[in-house]
Structure 1
Amino acid sequence: MSTTLKLTHEAIEVEVDGEPVGSVAMNKTIETPVEPGRHTVLLRDGRNSNRTETFDAADGETVAFRCTGKRFLPLFLASFFFRGLAIKLIRE
């Protein structure tokens, strides 16, 4: 009798203004339309997340962010207790 092992890697979930808009896999990009104005973006990877980031979008503008989990040692260690420090969002 044969057995199957199935492994699934969940991508980082993306929320804009508190609503889920999709997910982004490692080294991939997601684009989603937003209305001009002020918005918030939050990323979740299981229990890990970033601090909610606020941004203003002008009509026709592309607002770009890059996310990373790389942190210097004290923040990396603190992220085990404060999950909002686990993912860093950098505006490009």
Structure 2
Amino acid sequence: MSATLKLTHKTIGVEVRRGTYGVLVDGKPVGSLELNQSIDIPVIPGHHTVQVREGRNTSRTKTFDVVDGETASYRCSGKSILPVFLLSFLVPSLALSLKRE
């Protein structure tokens, strides 16, 4: 029995942070994600958390539930909106985001 977490590093408009994202599932490193790339991560069915990091910048932790055979998909992107970009220098946790697709 398994499920899948699919992450895509794709942006719309100007990408502020273009580096490689480290991916953590349930607090453990499971891989990395380049710009314009997708990865599929096998997970056991149930409740999980996902987070992406780039250097000192970390996304908020997102929780998700998957059942056997299901795929949970997220798009990862750096903030491209200027006020949020400027604020990200003061509050690094705003620098990355995960959006469920």
State TM-score, norm by structure 1. 0.83
What amino acid sits opposite 1:20 in the alignment? Answer: P
Corresponding residue pairs, total: 84
Runs of 4+ in 1 over 4 A off after TM superposition: none
How do 1:69-84 and structure 2 match up within 5 A?
69-84=78-93
Alignment deviations for residues 40-89 of structure 1 (CA, whole Å, 9 cap, x no partner)? 00100001121111111111100000011134233222211111110111
Identical aligned pairs, as a percentage? 54
Which of 10, 31, 41 is equivalent to 1:32?
41
Q: What is the CA deviation profile of residues 13-65 of structure 1, one whole-angstrom value per residue up to 9, with x for unaligned ones?
A: 00000000000111001111111111000100001121111111111100000
Q: Give the structure-2-normalised TM-score.
A: 0.76
Structure having the higher strand fraction is 2
The alignment yields a C-alpha RMSD, in angstroms, of 1.5
Q: Which amino acid aligns with 1:58?
A: V
Alpha carbons 2:20, 2:35 under 8 Å: kept: yes
Question: Structure 2 vs 1, CA of residues 77 and 10 (structure 1 numbering), >3 Å: closer, same or farther?
Answer: closer
Pick the structure with greater CA Rg: 1
SS at match of 2:71: coil
Q: Secondary structure of 2:37's match?
A: coil
Write out aligned runs for 1:1-92 (5 A).
Answer: 11-92=20-101
Query: Runs of 5+ in structure 2 lacking a partner?
Result: 1-17
* Cα drift, residue 11 of structure 1: 1.6
